[in-house]
């Protein structure tokens, strides 16, 4: 069953009188539990596509359906409430709140939902242990390395058990070794919790971790392939 499907998405930016077509007609569907990578060079429209799927940006044309609901015409408030329940995010620059500890950062999306502090702390502790940061819970972002911060970011995306997790260049700010570690962690977490993961990257190395790779170029889909030998799969079986 498809958790998300987009149809005939088009996005045009107007800069003065000039038109920039960021996305030509793109359609794709992602099934529940799939780990999917959107691969393309810089400026190819990957981020635009991801932002449209996450409701941060409106498409010029086309529809977005998540979990059977057409969310294309949702307003900002509806999207916020929808994201609380259904969508997790991992950012390139981690974006943890500097005023909070790792534990508080992870628990934050649950706080937005109005969950009790006791329950959300328990869930956040569990998530931090899953990303192997059980000994860093009370550290603040400035007291952690980039890799550790991104692991906190992963825990934060998974903690609310959303139906979809988006990651835009999650390893973009990390060295290649740490990047690989983070990718392995992310992929194994997604398998463990049976989450649908959509990763945007320009790096073909990263794409090797995904079970499906969608290549886009100049705003158009140029290929959509299954990768039966995705890295990290062996560890699970």
Partner 1 sequence: MKFRDMISMSFANLFHRRVRTVLTVMGVVIGTCAIIVMLSLGFGMRQSMEDLMKSMGDLTVITVYGSGSDSSEGLDDSALKDLRKLPEAAAITPVYFLDSSCVAVNCRKYQFQGMIYGVAMDTLEKFGYEAETGSLPESDFKNTDILFGSQSAYSFCDTSRKSNNYVEPIPNKNGELPKPFVDLTKNRFTLSVNLPEDSTARNKEEKLRVLGTLKEDFSRNPSPSSCIFMDYAYAKELREKYNKLNKVKGSSDFYDQIILKMNSIDVVPEAVQKITDLGYQSYSMESQRNEVEKQLRTVQLILGGLGAISLLVAALGITNTMVMSIYERTREIGIIKVLGCVVWNIRAMFLMEAGAIGFLGGAAGIGISYGISAFLNSLAAQMSASGGGGIFAMGGKISIIPIWLIFGSIAFSTLIGIISGILPANRAMKISALTAIKQE
Ligand X SMILES: Nc1ncnc2c1ncn2[C@@H]1O[C@H](COP(=O)(O)OP(=O)(O)O)[C@@H](O)[C@H]1O
- Which spans of this chain sit near partner 1 (rule: CB under 8 A)? 51, 54, 56-57, 76-77, 80-81, 83-85, 87, 89, 91, 93, 95, 97-100, 108-109, 111-114, 116-117, 156
Q: How far is CA 21 from CA 11, 37, 168, in A?
A: 6, 22, 20
Residue 45 found at the interface with ligand X (CB under 6 A)? yes
By beta-carbon proximity to partner 1, the closer residue of 6 and 160 is 160
Consecutive H or E run containing 225: strand 220-226
CA atoms within 13 A on the CB side of 223: 8
By beta-carbon proximity to partner 1, the closer residue of 74 and 209 is 74
| φ and ψ at residue 78, rounded to 5 degrees | -65, -40
Select the span of 1-9, 15-23, 119-127, 187-195 touching ligand X (CB under 6 A).
Answer: 15-23
Residue 22 found at the interface with ligand X (CB under 6 A)? yes
Q: How far is CA 67 from CA 103, 151, 162, 163, in A?
A: 30, 27, 11, 8
Q: At its nearest, how many Å lie between ligand X and the CB of residue 23?
A: 8
Residue 44 found at the interface with ligand X (CB under 6 A)? yes
Are 89 and 165 spatial neighbours (Cβ–Cβ below 8 Å)? yes
DSSP-derived secondary structure for 138-199: T--GGGS-HHHHHHHHHHHHHTT--SEEEEESTTTTS-HHHHHHHHHHHHHHHHHTT-EEEE
Name the 3-class secondary structure at 78: helix
Select the span of 14-22, 81-89, 145-153, 225-233 touching ligand X (CB under 6 A).
Answer: 14-22
By beta-carbon proximity to partner 1, the closer residue of 77 and 194 is 77
By beta-carbon proximity to ligand X, the closer residue of 4 and 49 is 49
Select the span of 35-43, 87-95, 97-105, 145-153 touching ligand X (CB under 6 A).
Answer: 35-43
Measured CA to CA, the distance from residue 200 to residue 216 in angstroms comes to 11
Name the 3-class secondary structure at 41: coil
Q: At its nearest, how many Å lie between partner 1 and the CB of residue 105?
A: 10
By beta-carbon proximity to partner 1, the closer residue of 74 and 91 is 91
Considering only residues 42, 75, 135, 142, which one is a binding residue for ligand X as defined by CB under 6 A?
A: 42
Return the structure tokens found at 182: 């983070």
Name which of Mg ion, partner 1, ligand X, none residue 22 binds, using a CB cut-off of 5 to 8 Å depending on partner kind.
ligand X
Chain residues binding ligand X by CB under 6 A are 13, 15, 20, 22, 40, 42-48
């Amino acid at each position: 069953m498809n958790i998300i499907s987009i149809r005939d998405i088009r996005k045009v930016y107007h800069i003065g009188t000039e038109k920039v077509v960021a996305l030509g007609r793109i359609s794709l569907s992602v099934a529940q539990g799939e780990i999917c990578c959107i691969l393309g060079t810089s400026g190819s429209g990957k981020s635009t596509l991801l932002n449209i799927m996450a409701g941060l940006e409106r498409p010029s044309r086309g529809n977005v359906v998540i979990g059977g609901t057409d969310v294309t015409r949702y307003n900002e408030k509806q999207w916020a409430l929808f994201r609380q329940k259904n969508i997790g995010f991992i950012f390139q620059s981690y974006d943890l709140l500097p005023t909070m500890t790792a534990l508080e950062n992870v628990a934050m999306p649950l706080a937005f939902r109005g969950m009790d502090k006791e329950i959300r702390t328990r869930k956040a502790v569990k998530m931090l242990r899953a990303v192997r940061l059980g000994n860093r819970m009370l550290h603040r972002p400035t007291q952690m390395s980039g890799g550790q911060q991104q692991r906190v970011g992963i825990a934060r995306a998974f903690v609310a058990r959303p139906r979809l997790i988006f990651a835009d260049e999650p390893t973009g700010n990390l060295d290649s070794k740490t990047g690989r570690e983070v990718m392995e962690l992310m992929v194994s977490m997604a398998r463990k919790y049976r989450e649908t993961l959509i990763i945007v990257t320009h790096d073909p190395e990263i794409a090797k971790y995904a079970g499906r790779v969608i290549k886009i170029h100049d705003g158009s889909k140029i290929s959509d392939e299954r990768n039966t030998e995705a890295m990290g799969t062996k560890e699970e079986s």
